[in-house]
């Protein structure tokens, strides 16, 4: 008795009949529970009854030679019916995602990156012998163990790195190489590879072609491939170091007043599948950010878009702070492009304001470095 509601439902039926009142009297006489009646016109009514009484209504309408059609339904019985119609689609979608997720736990491709001495085919066979092949579970892959075993069995491998990216196992190999043969030194002159002011010249062979303090242009001779006395000079392969002051100009615009957009730490994300170019969202961002940064991350199965909220924050810097911060940032940027022996020995600084709350910092960096091109040119 407590579960009778599971079989209950109600339907709304539009009945077209010459005498609607007679139909209602017949239904009441048969103890049909008429839940609601609405007259549409003189010969049409909409009757709401329980689903169990539908056959009685149908029989009564046919006897009176009327017409009827169902215009609405409700209740648990019909809810279950509608759910059954869509259940296959829902179950199919869930199974599809489960299968994709399960397949993503395997490695389906082994990508080998070698250079000259190690054959990818040979390395693939060695990986196969230790159980590493397409179809292996990711959890069964121990990158450190793979690296050690391959380095032990292949004498041409200096070191090996194994990384799982998506459903691909990527193998990177650094090969052992024989030391290069000593090259014969070439005759000629050494020239400057950039402009600069000569500070020191160390001619290990050959002789200096310019004095200290000279402003030199790129391509001019700095070490001659000649040695010996002036009366009896002889040619020899030049070699040396030429230290010179070189010049790099950089500038930066810095906001010192007003407002700027900065990240607040709040974030949200979309997660979706990309199937034949169509996005199927598993999760949609719900936070409404007025300003945001967006980063897209593409995977083998799931794709993600991360949103970082940004808000306007006041900016108030002194000119001195702005200049100091700019010089430091520009210097760090320059050092990334210089060789290790290069040293910043001086800075020439100019500043100007643009009238819009910004300051433009221009810096000429004086860098001491070796400017010699070690490839000799003809005399």
pLDDT in tens, 200-245: 999 999 999 999 999 999 999 999 988 887 778 888 999 999 999 9
Domains: count for the chain = 4
38, 62, 78: which is the final residue of a domain?
A: 78
Confidence bin at 250 (pLDDT 50/70/90): very high
297 and 327 housed in the same domain: no
What mean pLDDT comes out for the span 81-102?
78
In a domain? residue 32: yes
Distance CA 48, CA 214 (A): 106
pLDDT digits (tens, 9 = 90+) for 266-309: 999 999 888 877 888 888 888 888 899 999 988 877 899 999 99
Confidence of residue 346 (pLDDT cuts 50, 70, 90): very high
The answer to the question of residue 376 being in a domain is: no
Do 323 and 297 sit in the same domain of this protein?
no
Q: Are 67 and 15 in contact (CB under 8 A)?
A: yes
Per-residue pLDDT reduced to its tens digit, 132-184: 889 889 888 888 888 888 888 887 788 888 888 888 888 888 877 766 666 67
Indicate if the pLDDT at residue 78 is higher than 80.
Answer: no
Q: Tell me, what's the pLDDT at 119?
A: 83
Question: Which DSSP string do the residues of 220-252 spell out, in sequence order?
Answer: -EEEESEEE-SSSEEE---EEEEEEEEEEEEEE
What is the Cα–Cα distance from 295 to 79, expressed in whole angstroms? 42
User: Where does the pLDDT of residue 86 fall: very low under 50, low under 70, confident under 90, or very high at 90 and above?
Assistant: low
- The secondary structure element, H or E, covering residue 215 is strand 215-216
238 falls within a domain: no
Strand partners, 244: 198, 369
> Looking at the DSSP assignment, which residues form a beta bridge with residue 82?
none
Asked whether residue 70 is domain-assigned, the answer is yes
CA distance 106 to 140: 9
Same-domain check for residues 324 and 336: yes
Spatial separation of the C-alpha atoms in residues 66 and 376, rounded to whole Å: 110
Q: Give the dihedral sign, CA 372/373/374/379.
A: negative
Q: How far apart (Å, rounded) are the C-alpha atoms in residues 372 and 193? A: 6
- 226 located within any domain: no
pLDDT at 42: 84
Residues 22-36 have a mean pLDDT of 87
This prediction has a pTM of 0.46
Domain range for 337 is 251-255+317-371
Q: Which of 78, 95, 117 is the last residue of a domain?
A: 78
Note whether 296 and 352 are same-domain residues.
no
**What percentage of the chain exceeds 90 in pLDDT?**
30
Higher-confidence residue of 332 and 18: namely 332
**Given pLDDT bands bounded at 50, 70 and 90, which one contains residue 334?**
very high
Residue 322 lies in a domain: yes
Question: CATH code at 116?
Answer: 3.10.20.310
> Is residue 243 a contact partner of residue 343, using CB atoms and an 8 Å limit?
no
Residue 118 and residue 160 share a domain: yes
pLDDT band at residue 6 using 50, 70 and 90 as cut-offs: very low
Contact 254, 242 (CB under 8 A): no
In 27-154, which ranges are E strands?
Answer: 34-41, 44-50, 67-74, 109-113
Query: What is the predicted pLDDT for the residue at 3?
Result: 43
Same domain, 11 and 70: yes
């Amino acid at each position: 008795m407590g579960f009778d509601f599971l079989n209950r439902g109600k339907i709304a039926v539009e009945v077209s009949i010459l005498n609607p009142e007679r139909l209602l009297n017949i239904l009441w006489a048969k103890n049909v529970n008429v839940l609601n009646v609405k007259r549409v016109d003189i010969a049409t009514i909409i009757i709401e009854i329980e689903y169990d009484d539908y056959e009685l209504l149908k029989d009564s309408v046919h006897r009176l030679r009327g017409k009827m059609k169902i215009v609405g339904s409700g209740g648990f019985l019909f809810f279950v019916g509608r759910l059954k119609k869509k259940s296959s689609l829902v179950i199919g979608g869930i199974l599809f995602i489960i299968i994709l997720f399960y397949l993503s736990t395997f490695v389906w491709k082994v990508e080998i990156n070698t250079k000259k001495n190690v054959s990818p085919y040979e390395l693939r066979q060695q990986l196969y012998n230790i159980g590493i092949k397409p179809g292996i579970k990711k959890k069964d892959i121990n990158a450190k163990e793979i690296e050690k075993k391959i380095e032990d069995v292949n004498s041409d491998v200096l070191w090996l790195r194994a990384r799982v990216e998506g459903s691909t196992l990527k193998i990177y190999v650094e090969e052992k190489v024989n030391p290069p043969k000593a090259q014969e030194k070439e005759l000629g002159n050494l020239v400057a590879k950039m402009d600069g002011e000569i500070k020191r010249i160390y001619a290990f062979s050959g002789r200096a072609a310019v004095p200290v303090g000279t402003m030199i242009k790129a391509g001019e001779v700095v070490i001659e491939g000649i040695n010996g006395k002036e009366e009896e000079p002889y040619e020899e392969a030049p070699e040396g170091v030429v230290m010179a002051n070189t010049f790099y100009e950089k500038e930066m615009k810095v906001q010192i007043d007003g407002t700027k957009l900065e990240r607040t730490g709040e974030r949200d994300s979309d997660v979706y599948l990309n199937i034949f170019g169509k996005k199927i969202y598993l999760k949609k961002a719900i936070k409404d950010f007025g300003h945001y940064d967006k980063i897209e991350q593409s995977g083998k199965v799931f794709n993600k878009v991360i949103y970082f909220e940004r808000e306007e924050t006041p900016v108030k810097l002194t000119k001195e702070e702005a200049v100091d911060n700019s010089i430091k940032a520009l210097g760090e940027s320059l050092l990334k492009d210089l060789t290790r022996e290069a040293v910043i020995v001086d800075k020439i600084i100019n500043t100007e304001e643009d009238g819009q709350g910004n300051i433009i910092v221009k810096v000429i960096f004086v860098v001491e470095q070796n400017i010699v091109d070690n490839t000799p040119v003809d005399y």
